Amino acid sequence: MARFYSNENFPLRAVLSLRELGHDVLTSLEAGRANQRIPDAEVLRFATEEGRAVLTLNRLDFFRLHRDVDGHHAGIIACTQDRDSAGLAQRIHQAVEAGPDLNGKLIRIVR
């Protein structure tokens, strides 16, 4: 199963569903990094140091970061907003199961 770091804007219900599916998800709150206006580049750096792919709804900024760091990161899962958190988690799970090595990959999850 995958190791994820959920960006502040990522829904907690989806985090809980991913955990039920067997994934290791660290939230920004659990990491002591919530409500600090941490720049996206720092979010990606922290996740990479922790060996975790970033889960985010902040798609455009992370698309840019993926290009800026030339894919040198532990993975980025960029998702569209979805009220169906369990469905979002299931789509992420399926994408990760299709290719479990997330290093350097940008995966787009669209509802």
Which CATH number fits the domain that encloses residue 55? 3.40.50
> Do residues 88 and 82 touch, judged by C-beta distance below 8 A?
yes
Looking at the structure of the chain, the number of domains it has is 1
pTM for the complete prediction? Answer: 0.94
Rounded distance between C-alpha atoms, residue 16 and residue 25, angstroms: 8
Give pLDDT, residue 35.
Answer: 87
Domain that holds residue 105: 3-109
What pLDDT digit, counting tens, does each position of 70-109 carry? 989 999 999 999 999 999 999 999 999 987 699 999 999 9
What pLDDT digit, counting tens, does each position of 7-40 carry? 998 999 999 999 999 999 999 999 999 889 999 9
**Angle formed by the axes of helices 59-68 and 40-49, to 10°?**
60
% pLDDT > 70, the chain: 99
Rounded distance between C-alpha atoms, residue 92 and residue 40, angstroms: 21
